[in-house]
Every structure is written in structure tokens, then in C-alpha cells.
Homo-oligomer: A and B are copies of this chain.
């Protein structure tokens, strides 16, 4: 009797192991994942909590602390193997009072909307009034050299509308925001105003990080983003400058405080067969201090949490260890990601796959993939499994800022690629709020992430 039972179990086990490497089983399982995410998904409700109860959560802020506590508590409710916090040193910049700005002409003052860039110093207390020089690139400032002395440099190169992927258009212009002040300051400019990184013409300024690099302390100048409408107005008025006697005024009292502490929030489901092979899924928990960080990156946070929730509620026992990491401080220098990778190295952890969602909670279109040829080709073999879900982009390159430091020659980094058209309507602004996210689009993203994680859990990497 006992022998029969053992044989039966062995046969059943073999059948079950065989079935698990079957394309039909995979396609059934993936269909279950999408159905569960769309019918009983938790991601949208989590996003509602994170955006409305916690709100924005810049590294080092009160919101950041609340976000860490919220995420830890929610992960703990999922019944994972383990949930923990990993300390991370983060910068602490505060915006201070709402910024003020206007274009001064002999016909009067025109108010415009600006927002200080993250890391910028303040203007003098009474603000800063100076002549303006419009440029389209850092190179142009290098050429102008001393001619920018005493002036406010106005970077006004628009994101190229003709690029199909807005991320590519962003990449083609964001150097103005990151390095604009440093380059202008080097030549004696007194301030730098940067056209907002947006594909939309409106009154909403887009903040974001900037860096002074290694310039002298006295070369550091205050810098802010101006709304695209404001930029168009300033540029148009500058064309009539001779008559206009145009000057620009802005005031901001932001401040860089000493570094402080935050945490990566981590949870995992231990693998049954290969517990040392870690498959990571994550997003970043911090956000800018405007709006609610709904698309950037509340969406990625709740989608990553949903991946583990789907495994739990669909009773998928992972072969490998599935770990969710909600990274601290992506926006302000990536210390969450670098700390995580350094700890992983120190502990000799083996991350075979890492998937990040940090491009908004829009309809998923596919994945960006950084891997060797073998693993890339393995993913291409899964392509047809994703066809029913309109997932069609399997592009080489990509991943995510936070997981970048984990890259080695063997593993696979993945980035979820949602439709990019609306991303820069919201990115780093006060309008990046819960209401800007569509429930189904968010859920489809979570299901796509869970599906590819499921496949990597089944088959590992090559």
C-alpha cells in the first residue's frame, strides 16, 4: 500500500513537472493571471491608497516615511515568506515656498509658472531679476561663453514631437534640465530657466533632478523649469526684445539639507526548488514633491506588489525566489538601487532576472530587454504567449534605473514598456495624480509583468 502510494506520487509529480514545461500549460496559466488581474486586481486600490493617503513622497520627506510604513504593512498582509526594510542614505532637498516668476516688459509684467528643479539652490531672498538669453543647447552656451555673464540663460529646446516614443524625445532634451545650470553657471550666468520636459503645451511646469557636478560653489546658480506655455510666451516676447526691455524675474527658496535615511521595502516568496535564484520585480517608492506620483512611480510600485499577490492568490508556488523591491530615492540620485546592488553583492545573492516598471501605468506594449543572446532568444520564443494580450514589443536594451546596478554578464534586466504617448503630460508635475491612471491599463501592466516573471520562474535563464 505504502509502495503504491509512493509510486503514485512519483508519477503524479512527473506528470506535473512535465506539464509545467508545456506551452499549453503556460498559456492557460497566463490567461489565469490576466483574468485574475482584471477581475480581482488589487493594484488600482493600492494606488488609490498610496496616492491619496500617503500622497507625494520625495526622499527624506514625511511622505517618504509614510510610504515606507504603508508599503511594509501592505506587503506583510500578503503572507509572503519574509518582508523587511533595507536602510538607504538619501539626500534631503526641500522646495520651500511656492516659486514666483514673471516676464517684465515695458508694457507690464506677465506671470508665468515655474518650479525649482530638484537640487537647485535658492535665489536671493528678494528674487532675481536679469536679462535673458535664449539658447537651444548646452553647446550653444559653451560657444557664447562670457556673453551669458550676469544673465539668466533660458534653455528652450522642445522635445522633438516627431519621435514616436516620447521617452526618446525626453532623452534628446533632458540634458538641458540636468546640466543647464552647471554649464551656464560656469560662464557667470546668474540663473537658468529650462523649458519643461513635456510634449504638451500647457501651464504645468515639470520639475526633475539637476546636477551642479564639480563646479565651484560660487558658480552654482538657481534653476527652475518653466511651463511650455510660459516658454513659448517668453520666446515670443524675446523676439521683440529691443522694444520690450524684457527681463525675467524668479524667486525660490529651496534648500539642500543634510542627508537622511530612508529604506528599500522588500518582500519575497521563497522558491521551492531553486531558492538561491532570485527573480526581482520592482519600482521606486519615492516620487517628486508635486502631485501624487501616480504614474511616476506609484504605478510601478503597486504593479510589482500585485505580481506577488497574483502568485499568492493563484496558488502558484514559485520554483525560484520571487522578490519585490520598492526602491528608495530613484529621483534624487538612485541611492536605493545602488545600496540594494551593493548589499546583494556583499551577501553573494544571485539575481537571475530583474524587472522594473517605471514608465507609467499605461497600456503595456512589451518589454525592453538587456541580456545575452541566449536569453533574448528565449524570450522571443515566448512572444506568441503574449499575442492575445497585445504585448508585441520585445526590444533589446532597457530595464530600469533602479535595477541597472544589478547587471552582470549572465542575468536578464527587463523594463515594462507601456504606451508612452501620455507619459510626459504628467511626469514630475502636480497633475500626476490617481485620476490620471486608468484601472484596466494599470492592471494589464501588472498581469504582463506577472506573466513574464512566471515564465522565468518556470524555465530560469540560459
Contacts and interface: CB of A to CB of B under 8 A. Distances in A.
B441 A421 contact: yes
Given A365-B390, A390-B365, A392-B392, A34 B164 contact: yes
A156 interface: no
A295 to B, nearest CB: 13
A157 interface: no
A421 B363 contact: yes
Given A363-B419, A419-B363, A419-B419, A164 B441 contact: no
A21 interface: no
A388 to B, nearest CB: 7
Interface string A157-198: 000011010100000000000000000000000000000000
Contacts of A352: none
Contacts of A389: 164
Interface string A239-275: 0000000000000000000000000000000000000
Interface in A411-458: 419, 421-422, 425, 438-441, 444
A439 B34 contact: no
A35 B162 contact: yes
Copies in the complex: 2
Nearest to A442: B421
Contact of A388 (B164, B390, B439, B440): B164
A210 to B, nearest CB: 26
B393 A422 contact: no
A388 B421 CA distance: 15
B200 A439 contact: yes
B438 A421 contact: yes
Contacts of A419: 363, 419
A2 interface: no
Interface in A300-331: none
Interface residues of A, number: 26
Given A393-B390, A439-B200, A161 B421 contact: no
A126 interface: no
Contacts of A161: 38-39, 440
Contacts of A164: 34, 388-390, 444
A199 interface: yes
Contacts of A425: 438
A139 B199 CA distance: 50
A123 to B, nearest CB: 34
A237 B164 CA distance: 49
A126 B74 CA distance: 51
A414 B440 CA distance: 26
Contacts of A365: 390
Interface core residue of A161, A199, A388 (most chain B CB under 10 Å): A161
A313 to B, nearest CB: 15
Contacts of A39: 161-162
Contacts of A439: 199-200
Given A34-B162, A162-B35, A162-B39, A421 B444 contact: yes
A365 B421 CA distance: 13
Contacts of A441: 421-422
Interface core residue of A34, A162, A389 (most chain B CB under 10 Å): A162
A363 B165 CA distance: 12
A234 to B, nearest CB: 21
A9 B199 CA distance: 45
Contacts of A422: 438, 440-441
15 contacts: A34-B162, A34-B164, A161-B440, A164-B388, A164-B389, A166-B440, A200-B439, A363-B363, A365-B390, A390-B393, A392-B392, A419-B419, A421-B440, A421-B441, A425-B438
Given A39-B161, A199-B439, A421-B444, 5 more contacts: A34-B164, A166-B440, A363-B421, A422-B441, A425-B438
Q: Which 9 A-B pairs have the closest CB atoms?
A: A35-B162, A392-B392, A421-B440, A38-B161, A38-B162, A421-B441, A363-B419, A39-B161, A422-B438
